[in-house]
Amino acid sequence: MKRIGVLTSGGDAPGMNCAIRAVVRKAIFFGLDVTGIQRGYSGLINGELREMNLSSVADIIHRGGTILRTARSETFRTPEGRAKAAEHLREMGVEGLVIIGGDGSFRGARLLSNEHGIKFIGVPGTIDNDIPCTDYCIGFDTAVNNVVDAINKIRDTATSHERTYVVEVMGRNSGFIALEAGLAGGAESILIPEMKTNLDDVIEKLYRGLQRGKLHSIIVVAEGAGSGIDVGNVIKEKTGLDTRVTILGHIQRGGTPTSFDRVIASRMGAMAVDLLIEGKDRKMVGVVSGELKDFDIDYALSREKTIDKSVYELAGILAI
């Protein structure tokens, strides 16, 4: 293998830059040439390819987002779009791709492989942490810390004004961010799509808290479990308590990556290069119990990632 390509696709995630840096520098360390593809599959179709060198990835380890930019591409979902993408890779002499993104990006890469034989290794990058075969995706830890930081701040006002706060967090159809940030932030209740929650139970808990002198309550709602505004309205209507809603939105995705994200992103990016050099193809890198592993992409995409119910139960017990 002489040349590899790297791109970021789907939603940006803090730590993606660390993965890009690792891919570029590890590949150059092994004497490979590296092409950086701008704006994910969209840039691949438009021919936005550029040479990467050691300096291209200097001074980015601490930056959120992705220097390669990211995008969503409807054209890539068509066979014609993918044919164009493959043509640009062949023109540049790219023999293998590292795709840093979520499961949608991996599905796209799989089609590019099926139809045009383009080799690829997937590196899981999404704050939602919803990709199977890995305990952590790049960006998740930073997002959770961003949410916990926000909860800490909201707590000051919640206590001072003796209010109930509903905090809506991201996660698409999964509750990983809500669960981890809810436990770490000491939320009274956590609503996630994986577990059915009766709002009457949430309200009962609120009253119990009030009875023993709690000054405030924080309820974390994963976006996939419903709208924070709706939850806030129901609580307000049923209890008459001063209830406010905060939707954290994209501040969860930004900012400097945590050291944890930097380390797993660096390790995963470097491993993706190792796998390509070994001649591996259609794999996804994952971290399981602290160890880096590679999984067949078909296997990974056929699995479903589940939350740890014991963590959910623990959060409930501790917030009693």
Query: Residue 88's closest CA among 28, 146, 46, 135?
Result: 46
Whose CA is closest to 74, among 46, 41, 48? 41
In the bound state with ligand ADP, the residue whose beta carbon lies nearer, of 39 and 205, is 39
Q: Phi and psi of 37, rounded to 5°?
A: -105, 125
| Residues designated as active site | 128
The least distance separating ligand ADP from the CB of residue 83, rounded to whole angstroms, comes to: 13
Q: Of 7, 8, 11, 179, which lies in the binding site for ligand ADP, with binding defined by CB under 6 A?
A: 11
Residue nearest to ligand ADP (CB): 104
Residue pair 100/19 in contact (Cβ under 8 Å)? The answer is yes
| One of 4, 5, 7, 9 touching ligand ADP (CB under 6 A) | 9
- Is the Cβ–Cβ distance between 147 and 181 less than 8 Å? yes
User: Cα–Cα distance between 138 and 19 in angstroms, integer?
Assistant: 9
Residues 117-136 as x/- pattern, contact with ligand ADP by CB under 6 A: ---------x----------
Nearer to ligand ADP, 64 or 108 (CB): 108
Nearest to 66 by CA among 28, 24, 113, 111: 24
Of the candidate residues 8, 41, 222, 282, the single one contacting ligand ADP (CB under 6 A): 41
Q: Could you tell me the CA-to-CA distances from 181 to 189, 190, 227, 231, 314 in Å, in that order?
A: 11, 9, 18, 18, 13
Residue placing its CB nearer to ligand ADP in the complex, 49 or 218: 49
Find out whether 297 and 282 touch, Cβ atoms under 8 Å: yes
CA dist 214 → 155, 210, 269 (Å): 12, 5, 46
105, with CB counted inside 10 A (0-12, 13-18, 19+), is buried
By CB under 6 A, tell whether 104 contacts ligand ADP.
Answer: yes
Query: Judged by CB, which is closer to ligand ADP: 86, or 158?
Result: 86
**Stretch of 21-29, 30-38, 98-106, 312-320 contacting ligand ADP, by CB under 6 A:** 98-106
Least Cβ distance, residue 161 to ligand ADP (angstroms): 38
CB 170 within 8 Å of CB 223: yes
* Closest to 225 measured CA to CA, from 275, 166, 309: 166
Please tell me whether residue 15 binds ligand ADP under the rule CB under 6 A.
no
Q: Among 288, 265, 261, 300, which Cα is nearest to 135's?
A: 288
For ligand ADP, the binding residue among 36, 96, 101, 139 (CB under 6 A) is 101
For the window 51-90, what string marks contact with ligand ADP as x by the rule CB under 6 A? Answer: ---------------------xx--xx-------------
Q: Which residues, 162 to 201, sit near ligand ADP by CB under 6 A?
A: none
Q: Stretches 90-98, 106-114, 187-195, 240-248: which one binds ligand ADP (CB under 6 A)?
A: 106-114
List the one residue from 103, 141, 168, 223 that touches ligand ADP (CB under 6 A).
103
Q: In angstroms, how far is the first alpha carbon of the chain from the final one?
A: 58
Segment lying near ligand ADP (by CB under 6 A), choices 8-16, 152-160, 183-191, 276-284: 8-16
Per CB under 6 A, residues contacting ligand ADP are 9-11, 41, 72-73, 76-77, 101-105, 107-108, 111, 126
